[in-house]
Amino acid sequence: MWTITHTPTADAWRAQPTETEQLEVLLAAFGGANVTARLLAPDGVTLRRVLTLPPLTIDTLADPRRIVLGAHLADSALSTGTLGRWVLQAPGAVDIMQAPAGVSGAAINHAGGTIKTLCTPTLSGVTIRADEVLPTGGPFTVGNVLLTLAGQSNADGRGKISDLSAAPLSSDPGLATFGAAAFARVYIWRSGSWQQLLLGINNGGVNPAPGSGTEFGPEFGLAVRWMRETTSGNLYIVKNGASGASITSFTPDAGFNNYQILESAHTAAQAALISASVTVAQKCFVWVQGETDRLETQSWYQTRMQAVLDAAYLDNWFEATDKQILFQMGTTSTLYGAGVAAAKAAIAATDPTNIKAPPSPNYYDSSGYHQNARGQVQMGYDAFALIFGRSTITV
């Protein structure tokens, strides 16, 4: 007997008098098992009437099954919010954070969003915890995506990998789990080949892993949401974050510089995808730069930023209708530049559908301008939301 239990937090879930809660489970390893769904009240919350669903027998070990279970809540004393906790339980349950060999994925959805499990079940009994509620409608299919990430140190990344298991990020234990293993469907171009993204090993892209293997950038948050929210396809990342770099070091057709390094990587990376018969369904561009040029005027920066975008388009990094995300510096950054910010905003205004200029998070390390681990996760999450039209998740 397997029991799927939901215990929301005391400040979670808007309760309507006749609210319907839908639980959807994608399972591949529940042959011959019974599954029961029930809702428990958190501390301080009273659920006066809750319908517990009868067991559902799953009689096949074949392809993953989509089982939709509905539970009706009435006269519930739940307040507005989004964060809850689903726990998939079995006799003799233990906590694990990596998928057992040979077992495919599981996901749990409810009417207000999607919760992806951090590992997958076996019939021997495990507990699967999924603490993050994704606020939009469930997993989606997009195909393979090629993403370019470029800029200076906040593109390279100064978020500490060790901080993924510390507060406040420890409230989502899946982050530390993702940070400790290779991503199954996220690849980064490194040393002339596509490699599964692994923090501390290859997440520097064309450069060594930042912080001598102790740090990460926006690629991590992007990869986490990719794994949790897409049903298939791979995310391919070409990254060049150069510490302290001015936008002038990305000047196209100016000899060997950061743009040329990125263009050479792109040429080889896309050739490798073609050779492997990988079809790219979508491309996108994420730019995280500006601190070094903070004293420049809007006109000075806008001319150079537009030149980068024009050349990148001609060099096939993205198409005109693909998303281009030009992150502003955080509004409280000690290296904030008004001219740079105005330039990015002006460029975004020319094509507001496809070009975005969102602010970076205001979560810094002791420097006052480098995004800490929370900031880097948030920036990756925000980029994902803008690229794929998903809801914002706040960490």
Of 122 and 283, the structure prediction assigns the larger pLDDT to 283
From the number of C-beta atoms within 10 Å of its C-beta (0-12, 13-18, 19+), residue 60 rates as exposed
pLDDT in tens, 2-35: 444 444 443 333 332 223 333 333 333 333 344 4
Mean pLDDT on 108-115: 29
Yes or no: say if 4 and 25 are a contact pair by the CB < 8 Å rule: yes
Q: Which of 26, 36, 23 is nearest to 103 (CA)?
A: 26
Of 37-41, 126-130, 222-226, 298-302, the least confident = 126-130
Mean pLDDT on 193-218: 97
Give the pLDDT confidence score for residue 119 in this predicted structure.
26
Model pTM?
Answer: 0.69
Q: Does the structure show a pLDDT above 80 at 85? A: no
Q: Specify the length of the chain in residues.
A: 395
pLDDT in tens, 257-302: 999 999 999 999 999 999 999 999 999 999 999 999 999 999 999 9
Q: Is the dihedral of CA 166, 361, 288, 239 positive or negative?
A: positive
Of 108-112, 164-168, 180-184, 205-209, the least confident = 108-112
Bond into 168 cis (ω within 30)? yes
Q: Does the structure show a pLDDT above 60 at 148? A: yes
The band of 138, judged by pLDDT with boundaries at 50, 70 and 90, is low
Give the pLDDT confidence score for residue 229 in this predicted structure.
87
Domains and CATH numbers, the chain: 2-130 (no CATH), 144-388 (3.40.50.1110)
